[in-house]
Amino acid sequence: MQPVHTEKKSILSNSLSTVKIETSIQIQSKNARITLIKGLVLPLVILIVWEVVGTVGHISPTVLPTPHLIAEEFYHLAQSGQLLLHLRVSIWRSLLGFLLGASIGFAFGVWSGFSRLAEKQLDPSIQMLRTVPHLVITPLFILWFGFGEMSKVLLIALGAFFPIYVNTFLGIRSVDSKLFEVARVLSFNRRDLITKLIIPASLPNILLGIRLSLGAAWLGLVVAEMMGSSAGVGFLIMDARYFSITSLVFVGIIIFAIVGKLTDSLVKLLEKRLLRWRDSYLGDNP
């Protein structure tokens, strides 16, 4: 009788665990829906007020077009195929520039983080260049590389370089010194020290650097495409400004905002997956 009783208790325990897991999933799903609804309230209020003010006629459509005019412009641009064309060009440029700048920034950040000599030789110059605005450097890039794709990609790469460099460097230097004692006890060689200890411990900073680098890449893209281009979302905005098509300018701004938010959300999702081990404060939930 005892084994049967134990088996029943085990089945009951498993059932309760399953119920708890399902309840937890339902609660998380409900909280996600509530968060989404709360996040949509303010934008909807702004859009309604904006539409009403524009429709009444207090503001000229040339100065501030109503949301429905912007939506119509967006639809016509998408229907003509121009939206996909310009968006594809911009995404390709920003991706190339980001990969180039972020990879070099990561390598330099690791090098400076590990070596005090490299820090003394590299960091002062990098920090000095980091303070120079994109608009100041752009004419120099045009003189050196012309108006072709190389100057645009390099300008984007320059913007993506600094955030990942700074955050990788800070992440490595912020690793708890006690972990190095553990590494010595475990007889880690230099490769194990980097791959199994330092990089995982500095991963939160590195991922933050990636998020900031993506934002900087989009900023560099806007500057690059506005300074001389025949395609891309930045070119679309400049062309619309030249012909005073304000609704099209807003379409370009919205495209940048949506794509920027999507890329940021992808990195945040990657953060959640890679940093599940970290027990950190998530804020109050009133």
Q: What is the largest CA-CA distance in the chain?
A: 89
pTM, to two decimals: 0.73
Q: What is the DSSP string of 26-41?
A: HHHHHHHHHHHHHHHH
What's the pLDDT score for residue 10? 56
Per cent of the chain over pLDDT 90 is: 5
**pLDDT tens per residue, range 138-156:** 778 778 877 777 888 888 8
What's the pLDDT score for residue 104? 92
Higher pLDDT, 73 or 13: 73
Contact 204, 171 (CB under 8 A): yes
- Distance CA(242)–CA(228), nearest Å, equals 14
**pLDDT tens per residue, range 155-190:** 889 888 989 999 988 888 887 777 777 777 777 777
- The 8-class DSSP code of residue 280 comes to -
What's the pLDDT score for residue 100? 92
